[in-house]
Amino acid sequence: MKKTYIIILALSIVFAASGQIPMLGDRAPEFEAKSTKGDIKFPKDYYGKWKILFSHPGDFTPVCTTEILELADLQDEFKELNTQLIVLSTDGLNSHLDWIKSMEEISYKNREKADIDFPFISDVGLDISKKYGMIHPNNNSTKNVRAVFIIDPEDKISSITYYPDNIGRNIDEILRNLEALQEVYANNKLTPANWVKGESLLVQSPDSKEEAEKLNAKKNLYSLTWYLWFEK
């Protein structure tokens, strides 16, 4: 049993080292692609912006359709956060265009019909999906999995999340995650569980109770115990 674990761990390390699975802190893999908004050089075209790469296994699917409609509903909020949304799937551009056209005729949750203003990338050859570790053979060897990559203005990967095919993504949570990442990107703070914009931030824990006593002198901080400090 131990030998099996060692072999699996070794294979995981080799696979990761090969660059086939991008990790947190890595530079976002580069690619050029055709999109519904024209040719894209990623992430070069969006340097200085936050980027969210939002993948789908296929067009005209019910779960993905509701997710895109929710993204469209919040697209202006993402724009205000200097963030470019990009949708990727293994279908072709004509399929993407037809799907977008059909979604823009849907009144979802009694809202006004969507005006989808972000690009859809075609990855028929799976090249991009492979670069981003989105092909999971035990799930599907010809379609990418449903993933969300959040990439910072310096083109480094800040967040990676995978979702099963049958569970819709929470777009409000993706927006909250982005806001939290932007907050900690701007300063050396931390966000507590369930943090939302405007709430207190955490500061790095002191190494000892003695160090904690020094923080008492800072009027902008408060603590719940010696290792748990918040900024007012």
pLDDT 10s digits, 182-232: 999 988 889 999 999 989 999 888 877 777 777 877 878 998 988 898 998
Flag the least confident range among 6-20, 58-72, 94-108, 120-134: 6-20
- Of 64, 85, 121, 174, which one is the catalytic site residue? 64
For residue 146, what pLDDT is reported? 83
Global confidence as pTM: 0.85
The gap from C-alpha 151 to its chain's centroid, in whole angstroms, comes to 7
Among 173, 175, 146, which residue's Cα sits nearest to residue 83? 175
Among 157, 128, 160, which residue's Cα sits nearest to residue 143? 128
Neighbours of 173 (CB within 10 A): 11
Residue 16 tokens read as 């990761």
Q: Is the pLDDT of residue 120 over 80?
A: yes
- Provide the edge-to-edge strand list for the sheet that holds 221-225: 201-202, 228-231, 221-225
Task: Classify burial at 18, counting beta carbons within 10 Å of its beta carbon; exposed 0-12, middle 13-18, buried 19 or more.
Answer: exposed
CATH number of the structural domain 187-232: 3.30.1020.10
Determine whether 64 is an active site residue.
yes
Alpha helices per DSSP H over 81-114: 93-103
CATH number of the structural domain 23-169: 3.40.30.10
Residue with more model confidence, 205 or 132: 132
Q: Can you give the length of the chain in residues?
A: 232
Would you list the domain boundaries of the chain? 23-169, 187-232
Mean pLDDT in residue range 132-149: 74
231 phi/psi in degrees, rounded to 5: -100, 130
95 phi/psi in degrees, rounded to 5: -65, -45
